[in-house]
Chains A and B, each alone.
Chain A
Amino acid sequence: MLDLNQYDSLAAALRDALDRFSDHVCLIEADRERENHRLTYRQFRDQSLPLARALEDLGFGADSRAAILMSNQSKWLEAAYAILYRGGVVVPLDYKLTAPEHSELLAHSKAEVLFIEYPLWRALCQAPGFSPETLRAIVVSEAPANADLGPARRWEEVPAGREATYVARKRQDWASIVYSSGTGGRPKGCILTNENYLEQCRSLTTWYPFWPGVRYLSILPTNHAIDFMVGFVGPFVCGAAVVHLRTLRPEFIREAFSRFKITYASVVPLLLKNVERSLRARFDELPPARRRMLDALIGVNRALTKNRPHPRLSRLLLPQVHKAFGGELLALIVGGAFTDPATLQFFYDLGIPVANGYGLTEASTAITVNDLRPFRADTVGKPLPGVEVRIAHPGPDGVGEVWARGKTIMAGYLDDPELTAETIVDGWLRTGDLGWMDDRGHLHLVGRKKNMVVTEGGKNIYPEDIERAFEDLPVKEFCIFAANYLWPVRQLGEMESLVMVLRPDGEGVQADGLRDAVAVRNRRLPDFKRVSGLLLWEREFPRTASLKIKRPELARQISSSVERGAVTPL
């Protein structure tokens, strides 16, 4: 891989990688059974630089911002490279958000240029309040021949074969603005610098190296900090290849492992469980004698990999299982949410290590990762090289807030100095997560100080952001909380849900009527943002002088007088 110490910017490192590995394959894109294309590093360069030239023609340069609103595909990375090449700042937007949310984040980010897929563009144009005039250029991919794109231009219309002028940047200059959450209320745009990326990449590849020949299957959205790092920056600076699937359905993902002989993939707990379920179902169908044999071999593998993984040995012992994963898989990376230790152990015992970790966009991606020496299913791993972790104000049980410091901590939140000052104090990122360190330096997470939920799909949900969908509820007042914030349990995961606290309007309010009113509005939200329980509350909500709900105080009142069991499921 490249020696990242030598580089001042992400673009400089990527530019050298494209030259050094020019004949290696860097991208493969498939859709169902079809392979759309595969690109070498040289071809990637040849496709990206005309985009950079188009940006240059617009006067786009150092610190200019451009947003990308696309699902995982080659063009996503081409756009990102073009933006960085011109010294710009990449604003990756979550394609799974709604069009009004996209519109809101575009405005907040002050992006001047937008790279977008046609279906998302079609939806964005219909979003109330969206004004394309604020953008200097909009480039749309996959537009049907007869589609009216309004002020946007087609990707294919960008003249090919042109070179662009490279714009050098420094380590402290911004490379991206990544939204960790916060539509609706207070958008949290994490500013990540070139140094953040270079240092994170250096430390992650120390434990999980890439090299030419490695194939990374990109499943998590590339707008997510994890995939941007391990599905773009990491593989590219090491000459590896990234595989994109245009259809992220479990059956095609499963097939991709063997078809493309995948080495690494990042997944969310939900997908991991899905694969576990289907493997267990297949094991259960085996005739008794073969099942006993399989269990025995799994036992042998468990014993032989107790101290560290032995991929070749595991493939010999359990060839059928490994064949299903392509026979080259070294590890699955899982992050973004709590993963059941039993699931982690299930895969490890089959010889498929799951590198579980813990991180935040605010820390570029990972803070801790399992180093597999030995594998531990009960922790979220050890701090990455170069990252300091401390437990602040620990209680008698050693549990306190997790703080992290190092060169991977973001520069701050975009246009929100107040929130930045609350979040980063003396260089320490206050994560809002609760945990403890064991005597082997592994971090254990046990809960959250903050009012938020992380779904099994890896989404951060802040209850305040959802309240807008319920503004017209026929109640005196309402407030949404993460259930774990009201009634902390020292376990993350399945207990995570959203509870709406309602103060009914007047007497004789029918609980059923309110339930229906909430359910109707719930359906307008993406499934992962829905409220799952209701709690009727008769007392007036405590409010500040400016009439904002004092959430911590209301939470204290509720948790001290009502049990979790009083919540009515929706």
Chain B
Amino acid sequence: MPAKNVDEITAEILDLASKSFRVPRAELAPGDDFFKKLGIDSLQALDLLTQLERHFGIELPDYELQGVSDFRTLAERILARVG
């Protein structure tokens, strides 16, 4: 399977976030602040991290979310572990 790029991973995160937090997919963009856009707190953001782990089949330590608040940066962190 060819390696995914950051855009593909971002798109998958947006799909998953849209489904799981019931926000229309069209309203989500890569640069969005996911705390605000999804209306979630820091604990719910950790839940999102768990869902992403399952989706991508990787382990993401909690510290990967430190200082991250937009989807694209999150995708970059995931890419570093998927790759």
Q: Taking beta carbons and an 8 Å cutoff, which residues of A are in contact with B? A: 32, 71, 95-96, 98, 117, 119-120, 246-251, 270-271, 274, 456-457, 523, 526-528
Contact count A vs B, C-beta below 8 Å: 43
Interface pair A251/B69, CB less than 8 Å apart: no
| Whole-angstrom distance between the Cβ of B82 and the nearest chain A Cβ | 17
Given contacts A119-B61, A249-B49, A249-B50, are A274 and B43 in contact (CB under 8 A)?
yes
Interface pair B42/A528, CB less than 8 Å apart: yes
Given contacts A71-B62, A270-B41, A527-B35, are A249 and B70 in contact (CB under 8 A)?
no
Nearest-CB residue, chain A, relative to B64: A119
Q: Does B33 contact A (CB under 8 A)?
A: yes
Interface pair B69/A119, CB less than 8 Å apart: no
Nearest-CB residue, chain A, relative to B31: A523
Interface pair B46/A248, CB less than 8 Å apart: yes
Bound: A98/B43 CA distance, A: 19
Q: Which residues in A have their C-beta under 8 angstroms from that of B7?
A: none
Bound: A122/B50 CA distance, A: 24
Q: Which residues in A have their C-beta under 8 angstroms from that of B49?
A: 249
Some 15 contacts from A to B, beta carbons below 8 A apart, are: A95-B63, A119-B63, A120-B63, A246-B61, A246-B62, A247-B61, A248-B46, A249-B43, A250-B43, A250-B47, A270-B43, A271-B43, A457-B42, A527-B35, A528-B42
Q: Which residues B32-48 have CB closer than 8 A to chain A? A: 33, 35, 41-44, 46-47
Q: Which residues in A have their C-beta under 8 angstroms from that of B83?
A: none
Contacting B47 at CB < 8 Å: which of A117, A249, A523, A527?
A249
Interface pair B46/A250, CB less than 8 Å apart: yes
Among A249, A270, A457, A526, the one with the most B-chain Cβ atoms within 10 Å of its Cβ is A249
Bound: A120/B64 CA distance, A: 11
Q: Which residues in B have their C-beta under 8 angstroms from that of A71?
A: 62-63
Q: Which residues in A have their C-beta under 8 angstroms from that of B33?
A: 523
Q: Which residues in B have their C-beta under 8 angstroms from that of A251?
A: 47, 50
Bound: A32/B62 CA distance, A: 11
Q: How many residues on the B side are at the interface (Cβ–Cβ under 8 A)?
A: 18
Bound: A456/B67 CA distance, A: 18
> Nearest 10 CB-CB pairs, A to B?
A249-B46, A119-B63, A527-B35, A274-B43, A250-B43, A249-B50, A523-B33, A523-B69, A247-B62, A248-B62
**In the complex, given contacts A120-B63, A247-B61, what are 20 additional A-B residue pairs having Cβ atoms less than 8 angstroms apart?**
A32-B59, A71-B62, A71-B63, A98-B67, A119-B61, A246-B61, A248-B46, A249-B43, A249-B49, A250-B46, A250-B47, A270-B41, A270-B43, A271-B43, A274-B43, A523-B33, A523-B69, A527-B35, A527-B42, A527-B69
Bound: A117/B61 CA distance, A: 13
Q: Which residues in B have their C-beta under 8 angstroms from that of A523?
A: 33, 69-70
Contacting A526 at CB < 8 Å: which of B41, B44, B62, B67?
B67
Bound: A50/B35 CA distance, A: 44
Bitwise, B19-36 to A at CB < 8 A (1) or not (0) is 000000000000001010
Bound: A411/B69 CA distance, A: 38
Bound: A251/B54 CA distance, A: 14
Bound: A251/B46 CA distance, A: 10
Q: Which residues in B have their C-beta under 8 angstroms from that of A119?
A: 61, 63
| Whole-angstrom distance between the Cβ of A123 and the nearest chain B Cβ | 8
Q: Which residues in A have their C-beta under 8 angstroms from that of B67?
A: 98, 526
Bound: A270/B35 CA distance, A: 15
| Whole-angstrom distance between the Cβ of B74 and the nearest chain A Cβ | 13
Nearest-CB residue, chain A, relative to B33: A523
Q: Which residues in B have their C-beta under 8 angstroms from that of A248?
A: 46, 62
Interface pair B66/A96, CB less than 8 Å apart: yes
Interface pair B42/A270, CB less than 8 Å apart: yes
Interface pair A249/B42, CB less than 8 Å apart: no
Among B50, B67, B70, the one with the most A-chain Cβ atoms within 10 Å of its Cβ is B67
Bound: A274/B45 CA distance, A: 12
Q: Which residues in B have their C-beta under 8 angstroms from that of A270?
A: 41-43
Nearest-CB residue, chain B, relative to A527: B35
Bound: A271/B59 CA distance, A: 23
Q: Which residues in B have their C-beta under 8 angstroms from that of A271?
A: 43
Nearest-CB residue, chain B, relative to A142: B61
Contacting A249 at CB < 8 Å: which of B35, B41, B62?
B62
| Whole-angstrom distance between the Cβ of A69 and the nearest chain B Cβ | 12
Bound: A263/B79 CA distance, A: 40
Q: Which residues in A have their C-beta under 8 angstroms from that of B70?
A: 523
Nearest-CB residue, chain A, relative to B60: A247
| Whole-angstrom distance between the Cβ of B21 and the nearest chain A Cβ | 14
Nearest-CB residue, chain B, relative to A96: B66
Bound: A523/B67 CA distance, A: 9
| Whole-angstrom distance between the Cβ of B50 and the nearest chain A Cβ | 6
| Whole-angstrom distance between the Cβ of B59 and the nearest chain A Cβ | 8
Bound: A148/B69 CA distance, A: 28
| Whole-angstrom distance between the Cβ of B42 and the nearest chain A Cβ | 6
Among A95, A246, A270, A523, the one with the most B-chain Cβ atoms within 10 Å of its Cβ is A523
| Whole-angstrom distance between the Cβ of A73 and the nearest chain B Cβ | 12
Nearest-CB residue, chain A, relative to B32: A523
| Whole-angstrom distance between the Cβ of A265 and the nearest chain B Cβ | 15
Q: Which residues in B have their C-beta under 8 angstroms from that of A526?
A: 67
| Whole-angstrom distance between the Cβ of B6 and the nearest chain A Cβ | 19
Q: Which residues in A have their C-beta under 8 angstroms from that of B43?
A: 249-250, 270-271, 274
